[in-house]
């Protein structure tokens, strides 16, 4: 959809130009003292030396592919892009330090859109004490593209995708399918009741990166491998499997399928839009939950549950690591069926 700048007669980025736009944004950037040697406004930003190893991640969101301005506010978009990057840093068990943000914008983009976007960035940069040290703002022929690069620092323990061993248990934070339920509700495909709908919408538009959990795992050396579930639980399992050369058996009864997704699936199945009622199957392949999926030797699991319970985030043991020959399966009613590498496809 178009942002309809001209219909509303709003001030556009084309009206004020790049220099004035940057002047408006600069005061919105969090630039904590001590962390930054040189912030936005020079050829490049300079940070104070890092204590640990630099960790780098980047995410891009394109209008019409990753967001629809019909139900995503500019601040929602800023939040989601920042959260996606923070989630990658969380999955490494690292600490976020500084971000740079690049925007490609059509000339008719309202200035208020860019300010809203930075409101979304600011909220998370303040919550997690991340400096926003600069970026680039350029013109675009058609559609908005936003890219955020996040620099973090890692200590001695790194949470990679490759350290998982046969016999490790498989754990998952939060619920699955909540973001997908929010998306279905926001687009009007289903109508989720009251609080259930509101929670799902919020989880989709304003996902919470699990930075605290990632740090609990690395600070205490409790996990052997970790990944976030941004694409889908199924795809995340396949990534862990490929990088660690292991298989997984996931226990269907242990999967924390969100109540909102169960309700959405009921509505989609009732009138034949989904061929069978299968909330677990649906949740496995739904994306954008930004939870942490990780593995741990059985002897660490009590301690993990105790430490995670001290936060307000839920945690579930959802299965176990097996030899690679067994593949990745869902155990339901005593039978194992293959979990395929499905999820959100970009093209």
Find the Cα–Cα–Cα–Cα dihedral 124, 125, 128, 134, rounded to 10°: 140
Contact segment (CB under 8 A) with its own copies among 103-111, 164-172, 252-260, 267-275 equals 103-111
Does residue 11 belong to the site contacting its own copies (CB under 8 A)? no
Tokens of 269: 């199945």
Does residue 216 belong to the site contacting its own copies (CB under 8 A)? no
Does residue 270 belong to the site contacting its own copies (CB under 8 A)? no
For its own copies, the binding residues in 25-54 under the rule CB under 8 A are 37-38, 41-50, 52-54
Three-class secondary structure of residue 236 per DSSP: helix
Does residue 60 belong to the site contacting its own copies (CB under 8 A)? yes
Distance CA 127, CA 95 (A): 13
* DSSP bridge partners of 102: 136, 147
Does residue 208 belong to the site contacting its own copies (CB under 8 A)? no
| 47 vs 259 by CB, closer to its own copies | 47
Provide φ and ψ at 331, rounded to 5°: -95, 115
88 CB-side CA count, 13 A:
16
With contact defined as beta carbons under 8 Å apart, do 229 and 209 qualify? Answer: no
Does residue 254 belong to the site contacting its own copies (CB under 8 A)? no
Does residue 198 belong to the site contacting its own copies (CB under 8 A)? no
| Shortest spacing between CB 235 and its own copies, in angstroms | 9
| Shortest spacing between CB 342 and its own copies, in angstroms | 12
| 25 vs 260 by CB, closer to its own copies | 25
Does residue 312 belong to the site contacting its own copies (CB under 8 A)? no
Does residue 339 belong to the site contacting its own copies (CB under 8 A)? no
Tokens of 136: 């680039």
With contact defined as beta carbons under 8 Å apart, do 227 and 294 qualify? Answer: yes
For its own copies, the binding residues in 158-197 under the rule CB under 8 A are 158, 160-162
Q: Beta strand 131-139 with 95-105: parallel, antiparallel or unpaired? A: parallel
| 14 vs 256 by CB, closer to its own copies | 14
Does residue 1 belong to the site contacting its own copies (CB under 8 A)? no
| Shortest spacing between CB 341 and its own copies, in angstroms | 8
| Shortest spacing between CB 23 and its own copies, in angstroms | 11
Does residue 143 belong to the site contacting its own copies (CB under 8 A)? yes
With contact defined as beta carbons under 8 Å apart, do 229 and 290 qualify? Answer: yes
List, in sequence order, every beta strand (DSSP E) within 164-301. 169-173, 225-228, 247-251, 292-296
Does residue 65 belong to the site contacting its own copies (CB under 8 A)? yes
Distance CA 255, CA 293 (A): 12
Three-class secondary structure of residue 113 per DSSP: helix
| 64 vs 193 by CB, closer to its own copies | 64
> Out of 28, 116, 123, 149, which residue is the one contacting its own copies (CB under 8 A)?
149
| Shortest spacing between CB 275 and its own copies, in angstroms | 24
With contact defined as beta carbons under 8 Å apart, do 277 and 265 qualify? Answer: yes
Distance CA 215, CA 217 (A): 5
| Shortest spacing between CB 268 and its own copies, in angstroms | 24
| Shortest spacing between CB 284 and its own copies, in angstroms | 18
> Out of 190, 227, 257, 286, which residue is the one contacting its own copies (CB under 8 A)?
227
| 137 vs 317 by CB, closer to its own copies | 137
With contact defined as beta carbons under 8 Å apart, do 232 and 306 qualify? Answer: no
């Amino acid at each position: 959809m178009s942002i309809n700048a001209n219909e509303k007669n709003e001030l556009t980025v084309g009206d004020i130009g790049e220099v004035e736009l940057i002047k408006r944004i600069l005061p919105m950037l969090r630039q904590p003292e001590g962390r930054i040697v040189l912030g936005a406004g020079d050829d490049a930003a300079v940070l104070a030396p890092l204590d640990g190893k630099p960790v780098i991640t980047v995410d891009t969101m394109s209008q019409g592919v990753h967001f629809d301005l019909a139900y995503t506010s500019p601040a929602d978009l800023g939040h989601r892009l920042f959260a996606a990057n923070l989630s990658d840093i969380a999955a490494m068990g690292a600490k976020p330090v500084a971000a740079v943000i690049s925007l490609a914008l059509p000339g008719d983009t309202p200035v208020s859109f860019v300010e809203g976007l930075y409101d979304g960035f600011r909220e998370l940069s303040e919550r997690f004490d991340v400096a926003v040290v600069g970026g680039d703002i350029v013109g675009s022929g058609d559609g908005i593209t936003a890219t955020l690069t996040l620099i973090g620092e890692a200590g001695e323990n790194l949470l990679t995708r490759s350290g998982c061993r046969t016999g490790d248990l498989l754990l998952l934070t939060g619920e699955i399918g909540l973001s997908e339920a929010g998306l279905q509700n926001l687009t009007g495909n289903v109508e989720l009741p009251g609080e259930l709908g509101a929670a799902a919408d919020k989880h989709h538009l304003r996902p919470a990166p699990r930075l605290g959990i990632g740090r609990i795992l690395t600070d205490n050396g409790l996990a052997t491998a970790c990944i976030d579930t941004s694409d889908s639980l199924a795809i995340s399992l396949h990534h862990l499997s490929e990088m660690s050369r292991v298989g997984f058996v996931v226990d269907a009864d242990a999967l924390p399928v969100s109540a909102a997704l169960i309700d959405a699936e009921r509505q989609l199945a009732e009138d034949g839009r989904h061929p069978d009622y299968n909330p677990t199957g649906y949740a496995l392949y739904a994306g954008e939950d930004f939870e942490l999926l990780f593995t741990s030797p059985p002897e660490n699991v009590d301690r993990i549950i105790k430490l995670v319970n001290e936060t307000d985030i839920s945690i579930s043991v959802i299965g176990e690591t097996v030899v690679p020959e067994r593949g990745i399966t869902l155990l339901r009613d005593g039978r194992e069926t293959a979990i395929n590498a499905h999820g959100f496809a970009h093209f």
